[in-house]
């Protein structure tokens, strides 16, 4: 049973001991992530691998690390080493925290490591004797184990002093996972090595799990940020496209506005020209009408009067009267128009005045113009008013004829 605060303490000690650079904030995140790991619940025993060609050494490791219900007291097969190892003969019992697997050959231990790593039950620590005849020696076995499991801590055990730790560390890296233990073995050393290295292995595995979790969180967060970034880029592109479309529309509107202004100017010029042309046409028409009236009244009719004063028979005089009447009818509308312009007659009033002058009745005029009798009477009253005829008995036709004659 391990307390959560104790594990936090071990994590901090491990980071300090391994010289891992980490700031306070990252350490807090790391410890918070450990909240997802149940520390104070029962755990499986740490697996310990022991490879030694001496059966007594294997029994010794088994007795020290995994005694079960046995009592460590007088052990005859250790040949008197009991007192040197344990002091007095008082019975001692220990709770086993380890699952110890012992092998007399390196290749057998290698198979066990392979099976454990493949099945998800790896070894935490391996005690390997340097020399194990007749099979592969301990260094070769350690090299092969390291290829299988990069996390296991290997303790090289030897009774010889010709071992070069630097050379072995180069063959079986990394240096923080290779240690040395000199025979003869001591129970407290074995327990201390197993406890410290086992806890270090546990912390490393927990840190690896936390790192994996943090990596996953970073990956998910990165993916989320990438998604948001893509959405923002898409929105920016859409806004840029919209702005460009708006700019093009504004440019088109400016061009159309310019075209409309130019068209408006052209229309104004045409309207002014039309008004000028109307004025010129009206002036020319007025000149023509005046010339026509002058030719009829001042030239043609006087000659007709002279002709009528000659010796003409009755038929000839009748022809002259018809000719005079027709000429007067031709110039009468012109004279009436001139009079109407002076009196400010409307076009309808001029039309009705001509029909009155021709002797048409109100009913006949209404029928000809497809208007109501009351409308014709209204226009007749306006004509009398503009001619300033106050006497109701005065004949409108007579007044209009007099105006044409004048």
* 154-171: average pLDDT: 88
Residue 2 has pLDDT above 60, yes or no: no
Least confident range from 12-16, 62-66, 126-130: namely: 12-16
Q: From CA 314, how far away is CA 296, in angstroms rounded?
A: 24
Q: From CA 13, how far away is CA 62, in angstroms rounded?
A: 29
Least confident range from 136-140, 332-336, 352-356, 382-386: namely: 332-336
Separation in Å, CA 284 to CA 278, 279, 289, 404: 10, 8, 9, 21
Residue 64 has pLDDT above 90, yes or no: yes
Residue 20 has pLDDT above 80, yes or no: no
- What's the pLDDT score for residue 89? 39
Residue 38 has pLDDT above 60, yes or no: no
Q: From CA 173, how far away is CA 139, in angstroms rounded?
A: 12
Task: Tell the burial category of 14 from Cβ atoms under 10 Å away from its Cβ (0-12, 13-18, 19+).
Answer: middle
pLDDT grade, residue 8 (50/70/90)?
low
Q: From CA 357, how far away is CA 211, in angstroms rounded?
A: 118
- Is the Cβ–Cβ distance between 197 and 124 less than 8 Å? yes
Residue 85 has pLDDT above 70, yes or no: no
Least confident range from 190-194, 282-286, 290-294, 377-381: namely: 290-294
Please state the domain extents for the chain.
4-215, 311-405
- What's the pLDDT score for residue 327? 80
* pLDDT mean across residues, the chain: 81
Cα–Cα nearest to 345, from 377, 372, 385 = 385
Domain 311-405 has CATH 2.60.120.10: no
* 109-120: average pLDDT: 96
Higher pLDDT, 264 or 75: 264
Question: What number does CATH give the domain 4-215?
Answer: 3.40.50.2300
* 296-306: average pLDDT: 77
- What's the pLDDT score for residue 288? 83
For residue range 168-186, what is the model confidence (pLDDT) as tens digits?
888 899 999 999 999 999 9
Least confident range from 12-21, 143-152, 367-376: namely: 12-21
* 371-380: average pLDDT: 91
Residue 358 has pLDDT above 90, yes or no: no
For residue range 256-271, what is the model confidence (pLDDT) as tens digits?
999 899 989 999 999 9
Residue with tokens 């699952």: 99
For residue range 314-333, what is the model confidence (pLDDT) as tens digits?
888 888 888 878 887 787 77
Model pTM score: 0.47
- What's the pLDDT score for residue 352? 87
- What's the pLDDT score for residue 33? 55
* 261-284: average pLDDT: 88
Residue 196 has pLDDT above 90, yes or no: yes
Task: Tell the burial category of 340 from Cβ atoms under 10 Å away from its Cβ (0-12, 13-18, 19+).
Answer: buried
- What's the pLDDT score for residue 145? 96
- What's the pLDDT score for residue 80? 47
Residue 84 has pLDDT above 80, yes or no: no
Task: Tell the burial category of 123 from Cβ atoms under 10 Å away from its Cβ (0-12, 13-18, 19+).
Answer: buried
Cα–Cα nearest to 47, from 178, 204, 194 = 194
- Is the Cβ–Cβ distance between 327 and 319 less than 8 Å? no
- What's the pLDDT score for residue 338? 59
Higher pLDDT, 342 or 47: 47
- What's the pLDDT score for residue 78? 41
Residue 163 has pLDDT above 90, yes or no: no
């Amino acid at each position: 049973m391990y307390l959560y605060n104790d594990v936090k303490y071990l994590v901090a000690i491990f980071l300090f001991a391994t010289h891992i650079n980490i700031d306070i904030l990252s350490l807090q995140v790391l410890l918070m992530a450990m909240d997802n790991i149940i520390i104070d619940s029962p755990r499986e025993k740490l697996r310990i691998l022991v490879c030694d060609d001496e059966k007594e050494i294997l029994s010794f490791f088994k007795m020290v690390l995994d005694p079960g219900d046995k009592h460590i007291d007088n052990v005859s097969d250790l040949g008197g080493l009991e007192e040197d190892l344990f002091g007095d003969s008082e019975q001692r019992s220990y709770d086993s925290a380890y699952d110890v697997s012992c092998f007399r050959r390196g290749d057998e231990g290698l198979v066990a490591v392979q099976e454990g790593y493949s099945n998800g039950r790896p070894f935490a620590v391996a005690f390997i004797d340097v020399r194990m005849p007749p099979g592969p020696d301990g260094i070769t076995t350690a090299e092969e184990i390291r290829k299988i499991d990069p996390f296991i801590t290997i303790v090289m055990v030897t009774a010889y002093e010709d071992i070069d730790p630097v050379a072995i560390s180069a063959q079986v890296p990394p240096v923080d996972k290779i240690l040395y233990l000199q025979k003869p073995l001591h129970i407290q050393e074995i327990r201390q090595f197993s406890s410290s290295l086992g806890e270090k292995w546990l912390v490393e595995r927990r840190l690896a799990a936390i790192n994996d979790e943090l990596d996953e969180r970073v990956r998910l967060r990165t993916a989320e940020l990438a998604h948001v970034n893509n959405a923002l880029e898409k929105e920016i592109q859409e806004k840029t496209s919209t702005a460009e479309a708006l700019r093009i529309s504004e440019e088109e509107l400016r061009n159309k506005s310019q075209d409309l202004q130019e068209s408006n100017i052209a229309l104004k010029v045409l309207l002014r020209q039309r008004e000028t042309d109307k004025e010129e046409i009206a002036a020319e028409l007025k000149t023509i009408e005046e010339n026509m009236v002058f030719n009829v009244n001042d030239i043609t009719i006087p000659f007709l009067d002279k002709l009528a004063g000659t010796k003409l028979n009755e038929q000839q005089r009748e022809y002259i009267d018809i000719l005079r009447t027709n000429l007067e009818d031709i110039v009468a509308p012109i004279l009436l128009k001139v009079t109407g312009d002076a009196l400010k007659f409307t076009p309808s009033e001029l039309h009705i005045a001509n029909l009155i002058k021709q002797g048409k009745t109100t009913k006949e005029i209404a029928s000809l113009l497809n208007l109501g009798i009351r409308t014709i009477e209204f226009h007749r009253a306006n004509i009398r008013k503009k001619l300033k005829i106050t006497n109701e008995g005065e004949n409108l036709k007579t007044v209009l004829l007099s105006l044409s004659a004048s």
